[in-house]
Structure 1
Amino acid sequence: MANIEEEKQENPEPKQIGHSSMSPGRYEENTEEDSANESQNSLPQCSNQGLSSDQDAVAHHSRLFKTNENDTKTVDCVNLDASCVQKDKERWGKLLPMVKNFYIEDPEVSEMSPSQVEEWRSENSIVQVLRTNEEQVDLKPIPNPVLTFEQAFKNYPEILDALYKQDLKKPSPIQSQAWPILLGGGDLIGISQTGTGKTLAFLLPALIHIEGQIIPKEKRQGPPVLILEPTRELVIQISKEVSKYTNKNIKTICLYGGIQNKEDIYDFLKGVDIVVATPGSLRKYIVANYLHSMFFSYIVFDEADKLLGVDYGEDVQESLLGLRPGHQTVMTAVTWPDHVASQVNNYMTDAIHINAGPLHLTAVPTITQQLIFVEIRHRETILLNFITNMKPTDKVIVFCNSKPTVLRLTSELCINGIYCESLYGDRDYHDRKVAMEQILNGSATILIATNVASRGIHIEGLTHVINFDFPRSMVDYIFRIGRTGRGGKTGTAISYVARYDWRHTKKLIRIMNEANQEIPRELIMVADRYNQITAQYQGQRDNDNNREIEFLNFYD
């Protein structure tokens, strides 16, 4: 696996993969969290591919514009559309053939009756399996779920051996339903709670997709698999997960901000099978002509609700404008808001939508949720008391809402002789990498972090999550506590609730009820008290946060 990053070069000449004479420049990427606002100012512009000379370019330009009597040029939309269609046909005609269907249904799976399938889905909390385009005719039926690893991968012994080495007993519900769809070449939307195995659901079919192409690797035009992640920590985590299930023949490359590598970019990209990238970094390599989206045939949007949101959506859209027809797309997420659902048709066709678990965001029952009602000034004392009484086997993430709070807590713990690591969005890349390595390998057992560590990150043996600052939203609350209690294991989430956090208590009661948690009597009392106060002073409240704080302090 290689880590690649760019630095600025004056007037670099864009090149295409496959040109041995390539001498690429290097571009420098910022280290803000994580590539949402990466600048394009230092990037070279793509060349006018398909135009062989200046005369061709002039002729092409004249066909697309008309000059009226006033010598004013206007766009000829008809010719423009026709020209784009023709250019697309020429591009797609040069692409090598692609294979997507590798699925041979096991006889035991084939023999499952519709009632047996429905019973299995009900028992495993698969609440929804449907097509996003139900009006289209002549579609293949939705495949039955596989119930064992062997039913999915009996023809792939290397993958089975890797699964056995990970000591996994059987597929998770999302995996059981997703693997037949993806191995058969279908598009998939997989919605499931944190820690339920979504990564393996898309990763193992991706490996088979790579090895199953009829075109030899040395003749392929570019990497077939793209996995998009919102943060660099997730990029690194996914690449490590790939290494557990592949041999040395699969080459993975990570693209994310904050790294600098002086080696020749072409040498790294040559022979790459899997690109794991943050959106901003992918966009830079696409614009610089080091990568071409038309060669991706298996594309994964991990944490799709984040990737297609306001922070990353523009980078994703611009990077993937040239996708080849018939590519296979996977989207996974914990939540599926309307703004994401409306963009599905831009990237996939005839997708099968799976909901493994409730249709709305919930916490898993393997997490014990505890609340401590506190005055803000007492939180550090309570945290210090918890840390000094941690067991040797305990490992904890302490979440804060801001970088200054992370820095202050880290300093306080160090002053008290307690070693910890910290993680926040604009921390130096190398320090950030060391922090993750320390908490992952157990050298550190305490991580103080902002929300940058709240999504998707898996830390083996994490026993506790502490919300030092209560999250600003209940979505953040569920993502944060979901760092523990993963993969069927148990964990504990402790949240400090100050007076300003009382506004969350009604939703907190619902979330705890749905996860079969015991509701503290104090939580019910505080929720009732808050509702009474808001009703009594409805006319005096406004949306200003300072007014709300004064309001709660007054009635304390």
Structure 2
Amino acid sequence: MLIDNAVTGFRQRNTRQDTEKGKTSDIIKPENKQKPSVINWASLRENKAKHDAMKWAGLPPIEKNFYRESSRTASMSQEEVELWRKENNNIMCDDLKEGEKRCIPNPVCRFEDVFDDYPDIMANIRKVGFQKPTPIQSQAWPIILQGMDLIGIAQTGTGKTLAYLMPGFIHLTSQPLSRDQREGPGMLVLAPTRELALQVEAECLKYTFEGIKSVCIYGGGNRRGQIDVITKGVDVVIATPGRLNDLQMNNFINLRSITYLVLDEADRMLDMGFEPQIMKILIDVRPDRQTVMTSATWPDGVRRLAKSYLKNPMIVYVGTLDLTAVNTVEQRVIVITEEEKKAFMQDFIGSLNPKDKVIVFVGKKMRADDLASDFGLQGIPVQSLHGDREQCDREQALDDFKTGKVRILVATDLASRGLDVHDITYVFNFDFPRNIEEYVHRVGRTGRAGRTGKAVTLVTKDDWRVASELIEILERANQVVPTELIAMAERYKQFQIRKEFAKDIRRPQRKPPK
């Protein structure tokens, strides 16, 4: 309807213009004019439905519900459930299905409550030494194992990866069609960055189950090697959208067999402009799949993505849907001039203990190299991480940092997500990030898995546009708000008022009607 109206309006405007130029209807006879063609949308929709039915005909059935609720979980009263959710970072749940709402499953308090029938998974959990499920895991596992689509919103470092991996393993190995008979992978995890994709692969290998084979494919890696692994047969594909789209368009991978799909850090994928690639990829993923979407924030773009690609999902969010930093991190904000930043950082680095481990976040790749060179000239072991480094150098930098060979990593926002190093004690924001969401993700690199950490952030007068949002983040986490930051926010607010006032003065006044 919108297109038909636009076409009609375009023709009417052209007709008026021709008339104004002195052309009359005598020059172009009405009978000689071709009637505008009208798009038959009903026919197009019918043809699409027929095409879809033909495309997905003959696919093997999917099993989705594998959940057996333990007697302990089933016996929880409503008061016990509400108390558990409140004590575990205020877990909130909702059913986004339109119409009659479904019953939200009780959370699981112990690993045995959900994986008692899977001794291999329990053995891996005991080997790692986890004591109990994290809040997002305790509520997500019963929902996913019942076969429902899920949106999981939780802060960084709260166990979202295992929240979807464990049910994914069970889903893969419990299908009516055996893994040997399947014509492609059964599980796909889309991640925004190489670092996060490699991190998910490491978790996948750590908790391997019944010989499940996985591959990580990403731009900058060995393309031929990735193709060789995929063509030999894998169960799980962990991929960045760009490289997966490349292999899909060249028919190196068959996605029709995917029955379990994960969109990990969906907000970051949208920030990086991956939505067109995601749309192309999902055209070839069967529509009756089970889909899990995770995110640390819940902006409008992620809501749109969820509405497009998930069917009647449930949503679980830990804490609040308002943007907030992890509550295990002490945040300190310093208002400073640009010229003083390097000296302040040198004093900070000099005050560290030998066992401290720090990520220094900067805004530009060149700045990362400059600071890393400065540290090197002082004899301080350091590594840098940014997009211009070769993939092998990036992987070496991460490995040196994780193993403790270096205790300082200078990085761009490439490391703000997907970097899971548990013993990071400090995050040092040399440059403030481009938006407040990225600040939250940077802070989340420390204080992970129940540990505490500290974040030091330098703010200059050029960062005044984010001062109000930063104050809100600090207040939600009960952190100290510097008076200079409050003054900066007020100045920016007054600047915006003056700017709007000046616009109104310059705007031409409409003449009153005659």
Q: TM-score range by the shorter chain?
A: 0.7 to 0.9
- Is 2:84 aligned against 1:125? no
* Number of residue pairs matched by the alignment: 470
Shift of 1:539: 3.2
- Is 2:60 aligned against 1:101? no
Among 284, 288, 302, which residue is 2:246 paired with?
Answer: 284
Partner amino acid for 1:462?
I
Shift of 1:410: 1.1
* Equivalence for 1:19: none
Shift of 1:452: 0.9
Task: State how far apart, in whole Å, the 2-side matches of 1:524 and 1:181 are.
Answer: 45
- Render the CA deviation track for 1:295-318: whole Å, top value 9, x for unaligned: 110000110122245611000011
Task: State how far apart, in whole Å, the 2-side matches of 1:497 and 1:348 are.
Answer: 39
In 1, are the aligned partners of 2:154 and 2:295 still within 8 Å (CA)? yes
Among 154, 175, 179, which residue is 1:217 paired with?
Answer: 179
Partner amino acid for 1:104?
R
In 1, are the aligned partners of 2:356 and 2:407 still within 8 Å (CA)? yes
In 2, are the aligned partners of 1:217 and 1:271 still within 8 Å (CA)? no
Question: Please, which moves more after superposition, 239-248 or 356-365?
Answer: 239-248
Q: TM-score, normalised by structure 1?
A: 0.79
Residues 529 and 219 from structure 1, CA distance in 2 versus in 1: closer, same or farther, beyond 3 angstroms? Answer: closer
Unpaired runs of 5+ residues, structure 2, are: 1-32, 503-514
Task: State how far apart, in whole Å, the 2-side matches of 1:289 and 1:528 are.
Answer: 58
Partner amino acid for 1:430?
C
- Is 2:51 aligned against 1:87? yes
Partner amino acid for 1:90?
M
Among 378, 397, 410, which residue is 1:435 paired with?
Answer: 397
In 2, are the aligned partners of 1:266 and 1:290 still within 8 Å (CA)? no
Question: Please, which moves more after superposition, 294-303 or 420-429?
Answer: 420-429
Partner amino acid for 1:501?
D
Among 48, 55, 76, which residue is 1:112 paired with?
Answer: 76
Question: Please, which moves more after superposition, 424-433 or 167-176?
Answer: 424-433
Query: 1:334-373 maps to which residues of 2 (within 5 A)?
Result: 334-373=296-335
- Render the CA deviation track for 1:244-281: whole Å, top value 9, x for unaligned: 11147111111100122545835543320100000111
Shift of 1:115: 3.0
Among 419, 422, 432, which residue is 2:381 paired with?
Answer: 419
Q: TM-score, normalised by structure 2?
A: 0.85
Task: State how far apart, in whole Å, the 2-side matches of 1:355 and 1:281 are.
Answer: 30
Identity %: 40
* Equivalence for 2:467: 505
Partner amino acid for 2:238?
V
Among 385, 393, 400, which residue is 2:355 paired with?
Answer: 393
Residues 80 and 473 from structure 1, CA distance in 2 versus in 1: closer, same or farther, beyond 3 angstroms? Answer: closer
Task: State how far apart, in whole Å, the 1-side matches of 2:271 and 2:283 are.
Answer: 17
Shift of 1:323: 2.5
Residues 265 and 506 from structure 1, CA distance in 2 versus in 1: closer, same or farther, beyond 3 angstroms? Answer: closer
Shift of 1:502: 4.0
- Render the CA deviation track for 1:477-501: whole Å, top value 9, x for unaligned: 1111110001110011011222323
In 2, are the aligned partners of 1:308 and 1:316 still within 8 Å (CA)? no
* Equivalence for 1:3: none
- Render the CA deviation track for 1:189-211: whole Å, top value 9, x for unaligned: 01111111111111110111111
Partner of 1:289, secondary structure, is: coil
**After the TM superposition, which parts of structure 1 deviate over 6 Å for at least 4 consecutive aligned residues?**
72-76, 540-543
Higher relative contact order (CA 8 A, sep 6+): 1
Task: State how far apart, in whole Å, the 2-side matches of 1:329 and 1:536 are.
Answer: 45
Residues 417 and 217 from structure 1, CA distance in 2 versus in 1: closer, same or farther, beyond 3 angstroms? Answer: same
Residues 205 and 475 from structure 1, CA distance in 2 versus in 1: closer, same or farther, beyond 3 angstroms? Answer: same
Residues 162 and 415 from structure 1, CA distance in 2 versus in 1: closer, same or farther, beyond 3 angstroms? Answer: same
Task: State how far apart, in whole Å, the 2-side matches of 1:162 and 1:375 are.
Answer: 50
Shift of 1:158: 1.1
Partner of 1:258, secondary structure, is: coil
- Is 2:262 aligned against 1:303? no
In 1, are the aligned partners of 2:195 and 2:418 still within 8 Å (CA)? no
Partner amino acid for 1:122?
K
Among 494, 500, 504, which residue is 1:535 paired with?
Answer: 494
Task: State how far apart, in whole Å, the 1-side matches of 2:229 and 2:476 are.
Answer: 52
Shift of 1:325: 3.2
Partner of 2:268, secondary structure, is: helix
Partner of 1:101, secondary structure, is: coil
Unpaired runs of 5+ residues, structure 1, are: 1-68, 544-556
- Render the CA deviation track for 1:95-140: whole Å, top value 9, x for unaligned: 12222111101011112223322232223234531111231x4x64
